[in-house]
């Protein structure tokens, strides 16, 4: 009988959009906890829900090979996790939840059946919590830092925060042997022609963008040694033979010295494998950084550009200049690296001219791909606090996510759909201008129609009207 069963709430085959995209990666946080607990002598099982069904999960609960269930939570899996909690409690399990979502809503998760909420990094807390649960049960955990629970009177007790792990090399690599990692590689290869494995070289982000959640790691940045990372990559290549890697760091190029040492170590070992990752434009402002990434095999880097309006970037506390985004994009292109760009509509105070500035930035930078989202307030972020007096939740908490908050005075969803249409057609027309003037003109007409719709919307007396048509 194991000491704990770990799982998460993502079922790929229940998500029609994700079935079309088919770019799944395992949840590294769970696998890190599994590896750490096993190193400490605990018996750990992992139920990887990604390729599984809920019926299979219920069958696993009924097998009762352990009595404690640990569930990873994030913003998009709230409803799924609550269903898992309910099914586990029906079968007599003690339920622990952890991750960014439950850290932001500990009381709500306790009210919906969780016994304990782990806040912050889970390794050390879980190693102390499991014996305490066995000895004292879920209502006498007053001495366990990093936890929230209900005492015997039903009162919610929030214990002090736990100190973070100082030396990340002390944590063993993710316990990939607990899941079918090869299936992830094979699914990627079958759908995209290139099998991929994810890993991280650091934890946390020190930047203070107002809309970004730091619920697990706070505003810290702790990096593994370059030798430990190189060892893991070498092992991954030997065991799983992927065609590429995904470095899932928040900001991969934040520490230039570390990057140069790491690249040199990979080169010394004869390792060069294609990869993609995420960074910030201001941490790419050296030709040597882009040259190093290219030599390592970076084929695409994602930049959180967010907006082409400096006024909006400053309001977001991004700490990045529009000119830096231009420079980083052009520098990446010079070194043969594709650029993906994340963009955000609807941040507090955004006006039509800010949308136009974003479109002009994308035209000028000409990234290989770009993705847009409409800003939403995540609990406990600066952005949430700023608009808290204006937000209402559509539906019950259990049936919603932070994406479902409505913000008073914000334009409706259809407005941002027109902004997307304007952006995509304007950029496509700009790119086709010389090669296909006729095709460019047609795209430009569609862009102008979307722009005109936004103009009418902006000037309408009722800006929340959903009946403005192009």
Tell me whether residue 406 is in a domain. no
Q: Which helix (DSSP H) or strand (DSSP E) does residue 153 occupy? A: none
Q: Does a structural domain hold residue 401?
A: no
CA-to-CA distance for 446 and 77, rounded, in angstroms? 37
- Whether 348 is covered by a domain: the verdict is yes
**Range 16-45 average pLDDT:** 96
Let me know whether 32 and 85 are in one domain: yes
Inter-residue long-range contacts of 232-241, CB under 8 Å, 24+ positions, other chains counted: 232/173, 232/199, 233/199, 233/266, 233/271, 233/273, 234/269, 234/271, 235/173, 236/197, 236/199, 237/271, 237/273, 240/176, 240/181, 240/182, 240/185, 240/195, 240/197, 241/185, 241/195
| Mean pLDDT, range 403-417, rounded to an integer | 91
Residues 48 and 6 sit within 8 Å (Cβ to Cβ)? no
C-alpha to C-alpha distance for 160 and 323, rounded to whole angstroms: 43
* 117 & 216 share domain: no
pLDDT band per the 50, 70, 90 thresholds, residue 470: very low
Write out pLDDT tens, residues 130-164: 999 999 999 999 999 999 999 999 999 999 999 99
Average pLDDT over residues 323-331: 97
Q: What is the mean pLDDT of residues 98-107?
A: 97
pLDDT tens readout for residues 335-369: 999 999 999 999 999 999 999 999 999 999 999 99
Do 185 and 325 share a structural domain? yes
DSSP 434: T
Residue 402 has pLDDT above 60, yes or no: yes
Tokens 């000895």 locate to 135
pLDDT > 60? residue 468: no
34: helix, strand or coil: helix
Q: Tell me the CA distances in angstroms from 160 to 148, 152, 157, 167, 390, one per residue in order.
A: 9, 19, 10, 21, 31
Task: Report residue 427 as tokens.
Answer: 């950029």
In a domain? residue 432: yes
In the predicted structure, residue 462 carries a pLDDT above the cut 70: no
Lowest mean pLDDT among 112-126, 272-286, 381-395: 381-395
Average pLDDT over residues 412-419: 94
pLDDT at 64: 83
Q: Please indicate, yes or no, if residue 21 is contained in any of the structural domains.
A: yes
Q: What local confidence, expressed as pLDDT, does residue 140 receive?
A: 97
Q: Which residue segment(s) compose the domain that 120 sits in?
A: 4-158
Question: Is the separation of the CB atoms in 302 and 341 below 8 Å?
Answer: yes
Better-predicted residue by pLDDT, 457 or 462: 457
Tell me what the mean pLDDT of segment 397-407 comes to. Answer: 94
Residue 184 has pLDDT above 50, yes or no: yes
Average the pLDDT over 165-192 and give the result. Answer: 97
Examine the pLDDT at 469 and tell me if it is beyond 90: no
Domain tally, the chain: 3
CB 318 within 8 A of CB 333: no
CB-based contacts of 420: which residues, under 8 Å, 6+ apart?
345, 372
Which of residues 123, 158, 193 is at a domain's end? 158
Do 344 and 306 touch, CB atoms closer than 8 A?
A: yes
HSE-CB at 402 with a 13 A cutoff on CA atoms is 22
Contact present, 378 and 351 (Cβ < 8 Å): no
Across residues 417-440, what is the average pLDDT? 94
Task: Please tell me whether residues 45 and 188 are part of one structural domain.
Answer: no
> Could you tell me if 408 and 437 are in contact, meaning their C-beta atoms sit under 8 angstroms apart?
no
pLDDT at 465: 44
Q: How far apart are CA 463 and CA 470, in angstroms?
A: 15
Asked if residue 442 and residue 324 are part of one domain, the reply reads no
Examine the fold and report which residue of 375, 396, 422 is the final residue of a domain before the chain moves on. Answer: 375
| 247 SS3 class | strand
Residue 119 pLDDT > 90, yes or no? yes
Q: Report the C-alpha gap between 201 and 253 in whole angstroms.
A: 11
Same domain, 331 and 465: no
User: Is 300's pLDDT higher than 90?
Assistant: yes
Mean predicted confidence (pLDDT) in 389-402: 93
Q: Give the whole-angstrom CA distance, residue 314 versus residue 241.
A: 43
Same domain, 143 and 55: yes
9 and 145 inside one domain: yes
Answer whether 0.85 is exceeded by the pTM: yes
- Tell me, yes or no, whether 242 and 311 share the same domain: yes
Distance from C-alpha of 422 to C-alpha of 424, rounded to nearest angstrom = 6
Provide the percentage of residues in the chain whose pLDDT is more than 70.
Answer: 98
Q: Tell me: the pLDDT tens digits for 49-64?
A: 999 999 999 999 999 8
Mean pLDDT value across residues 376-394: 94
The CATH number of whichever domain residue 154 belongs to comes to 3.40.50.280
| Residues 420 and 325 reside in one and the same domain | no
8 or 434, which is more confident? 8
Residue 284 included in any domain: yes
Domain shared by 49 and 130, yes or no:
yes
Average predicted confidence (pLDDT) for the chain: 95
Torsion from C-alpha of 210, 215, 219, 222, nearest 10 degrees? -140
Residue 462 lies in a domain: yes
Q: Do 314 and 456 sit in the same domain of this protein?
A: no
In a domain, 13, yes or no: yes
Note whether 260 and 292 are within 8 A (CB): yes
């Amino acid at each position: 009988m194991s000491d704990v069963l770990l799982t998460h709430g993502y079922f790929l085959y229940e998500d029609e959009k994700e079935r079309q995209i088919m770019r799944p990666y395992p949840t590294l946080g769970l696998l890190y906890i599994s590896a750490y607990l096993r190193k400490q002598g605990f018996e750990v099982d992992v139920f990887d829900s990604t390729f599984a069904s809920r019926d299979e999960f219920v069958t696993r609960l009924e097998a009762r090979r352990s009595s404690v269930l640990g569930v990873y939570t994030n913003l998009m899996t709230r409803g799924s996790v609550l269903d898992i909690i309910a099914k586990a409690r029906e079968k007599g399990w003690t339920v622990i939840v952890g991750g960014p979502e439950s850290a932001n809503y500990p009381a709500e998760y306790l009210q919906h059946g969780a016994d304990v909420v782990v806040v912050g990094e889970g390794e050390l807390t879980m190693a102390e919590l499991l014996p305490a649960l066995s000895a004292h049960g879920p209502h006498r955990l007053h001495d366990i830092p990093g936890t929230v629970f209900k005492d015997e009177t039903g009162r919610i007790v929030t214990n002090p925060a736990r100190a973070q792990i100082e030396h990340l090399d002390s944590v063993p690599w993710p316990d990939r042997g607990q899941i079918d990692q090869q299936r992830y590689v094979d699914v990627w290869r079958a759908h995209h022609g290139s099998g991929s494995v994810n890993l991280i070289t650091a934890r946390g982000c020190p930047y203070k963008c107002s809309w970004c959640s730091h619920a697990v790691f706070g505003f810290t940045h702790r990096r593994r040694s370059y030798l430990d990372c190189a060892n893991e990559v070498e092992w991954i290549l030997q065991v799983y033979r992927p065609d590429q890697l995904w470095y899932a760091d928040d900001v991969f190029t934040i520490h230039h010295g570390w990057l140069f040492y790491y690249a040199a170590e990979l080169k010394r070992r004869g390792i060069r494998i294609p990869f993609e990752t995420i960074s910030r434009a201001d941490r790419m402002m050296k030709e040597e950084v882009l040259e190093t990434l290219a030599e390592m095999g970076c084929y695409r880097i994602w930049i959180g550009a967010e907006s082409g309006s400096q006024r909006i970037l400053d309001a977001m506390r991004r700490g990045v200049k529009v000119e830096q985004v231009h420079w980083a994009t052009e520098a990446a292109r010079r070194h043969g690296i594709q650029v993906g760009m994340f963009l955000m509509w609807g941040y507090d105070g955004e006006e039509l001219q800010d949308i136009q500035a974003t479109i002009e930035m994308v035209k000028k930078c000409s990234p290989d791909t770009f993705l847009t989202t409409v800003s939403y307030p995540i609990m406990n972020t600066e952005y949430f606090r700023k608009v808290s007096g204006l937000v209402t939740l559509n539906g019950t908490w259990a049936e919603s996510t932070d994406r479902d908050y409505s913000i008073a005075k914000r334009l409706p969803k259809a407005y941002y759909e027109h902004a997307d249409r304007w952006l995509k057609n304007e950029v496509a027309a700009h790119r086709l201008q010389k090669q296909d003037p006729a095709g460019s003109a047609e795209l430009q007409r569609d862009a102008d129609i979307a722009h005109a719709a936004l103009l009418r919307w902006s000037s309408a007396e009722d800006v929340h009207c959903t009946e403005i048509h192009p």
